[in-house]
Every structure is written in C-alpha cells, then in structure tokens.
C-alpha cells in the first residue's frame, strides 16, 4: 500500500432544510391555521481516529467530501429529516489544520477520538412558528442555513514508542524484521526503505511497544537531502530513539562522528529531537572487521556518556539485551505525553 502522510481536502457540511409554508385543510375544521414544519439540520463532517489505518491514501482522491443536506419541512407540522453526518476515518496521529489560517483544529491521538470540522446548517423554521395572536396566518418561512465549508490540511505523524534511526544501510530494516513481525524490504543499497515501517515488539508478560523504522536520514536531511525532510516529522512522536551504527566497510564513518552528525540533523530540524532519550547500538558484529573495532568504539562512547550496545540484526546476537534496555527505558518515561 502506498504511504501518504499529508493531504489537502475540502469538506462541506450539509445545508439545513427549508421551513414549509402550509395551512391545515381538513373537512369540518374551518380556518385551521398554519401547520408548516421546520427543515431538518444539515449533516456535520466529522474526522475520527481509527487504529486500523496507517496512511492518508484513501483521502488523496477524491479530495472533496460532502455531508447530506437536511430535508425540507412539510405540512401537518412535519419536521424534515436531519442530514446524515459524514464520518471520515483517519489514522491515529493525524493533525488537522485549517488550510487557510494554519490553525491546528485537533490532534487525533486516541482510538475513536472525533472532531467536527464542518457544522451542518440549521434547518429553517416553518410558518407555524411565526403564528401570533395578531398574525394568525403567516405566509412566510425560513430558508435553511448553509453548512460550513473549508479546506483542511491533514498531516500524519506516526505514533510509535521507539524511532529507529541511522544512516542508510546500517541494518534498521533487518533489525525491525528481527524483533517484530514486520517485513520491510531489505537490500544492500541506499534508500531501500522508502517509507516508514511499523512493527510491534512483544516482551515480558505480553507487554509490547511499537517501533518505527525511519528512512532517508543522511547528512543534510534537515535541509531536504535524501528523504529526510519528508519523514523526520515522524520522529517527533516517538518517546525514545534507537541510534543504529555501522562501521563495516572502508567508507563507513567513525561511529562517534556518525552519531554526532545525525544528531546535528535532528537538532537542525527541531531542537527537541536532540533532547530525546537515545540508546546507541552498533550493528553487524557478526563481521570480523566490526568485532576488531568494538572495544575501541565502546570506549569512545563511554567518554561521551553513552553505553554502546553491540548487536547483529542478522544473527540475533545481542538483540535480546537491546530489547531489555529499550523496555526499561520506556518504563522510566511511561508518563511522557506524545508531542505535537
């Protein structure tokens, strides 16, 4: 399925039904008086968070959504039927903005959470409503009010407990497939992963956490290089970052330099990202050239205050220890709210 995390849509609430001009006409009831009913209310347009969705693809076409109109009033004081509300389902983590003003209308963070983005018009009053002792036969009624209409911008920021970050080909997708049932595309070339992938990791006594594999982070990502500017937004929602490093191959950066370089990109995009709790892991320890440099890398990170976890996402070596460290870190920040 194509991943879409930003769309612009037009919503139009239903117009209210018109009031009715009618007079009672029955045998043996002379001068029965006005009996025109009120028009029905127009339907609202409502956005509702749904955990079964993970993309805004369904809203990218069509881009216009209309709720139903209210029915007109009828004689015999019959009120028109209210227009049916239009409920549009969106993924959890969707931010709803007024496209014209930029105002944030709602941040949909919970299953079933709703926001009315366009209110239906009120139904017009029938002529029975205007009868007075001095005006017993009013021959006018109200028209229904027009429903609200606006353009919205919907931005999806994935809700995940853990963000998996690192330069291309560090093994993020392989690690995600190792610790969860997610099956992202895995290849030995840059930008194999083109969209964020989510996986659920189960650990002690059925507890779990959600991991997001964030693609496209390279030097200059905060300025649009690679795919970084497109997907850096999804890191904002995470509570914890797993920084995955790779020192295999002749072209690999010094691990500490790579760590600082990527953190500079996070800070350049949004200062709060650098302040997130991070766990650093060195991948591909199944390779001899990596094993030879493990002790040196660990010492370098200890000097800057980080414990370096060594793993092999391919063989599973050290992965259980990393999961335990993640779960303990998440427990320590369990009450931390999701950021907008």
Tell me the pTM.
0.72
Whether the Cβ atoms of residue 199 and residue 182 lie closer than 8 Å to each other: yes
**Residue 338 belongs to some domain of the structure:** no
Sites in the chain below the pLDDT cut of 50: 1, 189, 191, 220-229, 251
45-103 pLDDT per residue, tens: 999 999 888 788 888 887 899 999 999 999 999 999 999 999 999 988 899 999 999 99
Query: The domain spanning residue 281 has which CATH number?
Result: 3.40.50.300
Whether residue 114 is found in the same domain as residue 199: no
According to DSSP, the β-strands at 149-156 and 6-12 are antiparallel
Q: 3-state secondary structure string, 30-55? A: CCCCECCCCCCCCCCEEEEEECCCCC
160-187 pLDDT per residue, tens: 788 888 887 788 888 888 888 766 555 5
Whether the Cβ atoms of residue 71 and residue 120 lie closer than 8 Å to each other: no
Whether residue 115 is found in the same domain as residue 184: no
Rounded Cα–Cα distance for residues 132 and 141 (Å)? 14
Look at residue 217 in the predicted model and tell me its pLDDT.
Answer: 62
Of 156, 171, 204, the one marking the end of a domain is 156
Rounded Cα–Cα distance for residues 80 and 86 (Å)? 18
Domain of residue 63 covers 1-156
Whether residue 40 is found in the same domain as residue 61: yes
Whether residue 92 is found in the same domain as residue 217: no
Look at residue 167 in the predicted model and tell me its pLDDT.
Answer: 81
Structure tokens at 210: 């959600």
Question: What's the structural domain count of the chain?
Answer: 2
Look at residue 220 in the predicted model and tell me its pLDDT.
Answer: 47
Whether the Cβ atoms of residue 325 and residue 187 lie closer than 8 Å to each other: no
Whether residue 5 is found in the same domain as residue 145: yes
């Amino acid at each position: 399925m194509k991943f879409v995390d930003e769309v612009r849509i037009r919503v139009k609430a239903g117009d209210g039904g018109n009031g009715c001009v009618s007079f009672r006409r029955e045998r043996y009831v002379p001068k029965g008086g006005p009996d025109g009913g009120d028009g029905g209310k127009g339907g609202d347009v409502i956005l509702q968070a749904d955990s079964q969705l993970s993309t805004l693809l369904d809203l990218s076409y069509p881009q216009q959504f209309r709720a139903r109109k209210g029915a007109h009033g009828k004689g015999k004081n019959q009120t028109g039927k209210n227009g049916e509300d239009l409920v549009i389902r969106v993924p959890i983590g969707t931010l709803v903005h007024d496209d014209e003003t930029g105002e944030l209308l709602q941040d949909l963070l919970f299953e079933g959470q709703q926001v009315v983005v366009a209110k239906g018009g009120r139904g017009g009053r029938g002529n029975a409503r205007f009868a007075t002792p001095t005006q017993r036969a009013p021959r006018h009624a109200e028209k229904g009010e027009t429903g609200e209409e606006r353009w919205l911008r919907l931005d999806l920021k994935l809700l995940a407990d853990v963000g998996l970050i690192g330069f291309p080909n560090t093994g993020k997708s392989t690690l995600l497939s190792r610790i969860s049932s997610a099956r992202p595309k895995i290849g030995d070339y840059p930008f194999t992963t083109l969209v964020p992938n989510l996986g659920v990791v189960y650990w002690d006594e059925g507890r779990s956490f959600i991991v997001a594999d964030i693609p496209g982070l390279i030097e200059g990502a905060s300025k649009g290089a690679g795919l970084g500017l497109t997907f850096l937004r999804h890191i904002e929602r995470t509570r914890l970052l797993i920084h995955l490093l790779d020192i295999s191959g002749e072209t690999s950066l010094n691990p500490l330099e790579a760590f600082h370089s990527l953190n500079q990109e996070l800070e350049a995009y949004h200062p709060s990202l650098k302040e997130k709790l991070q766990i650093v892991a060195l991948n591909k320890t199944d390779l001899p050239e990596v094993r030879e440099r493990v002790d040196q890398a660990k010492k370098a990170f200890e000097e800057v205050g980080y414990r370096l976890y060594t793993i092999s996402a391919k063989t599973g070596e050290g992965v259980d220890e990393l999961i335990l460290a993640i779960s303990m870190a998440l427990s320590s920040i369990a009450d931390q709210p999701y950021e907008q």
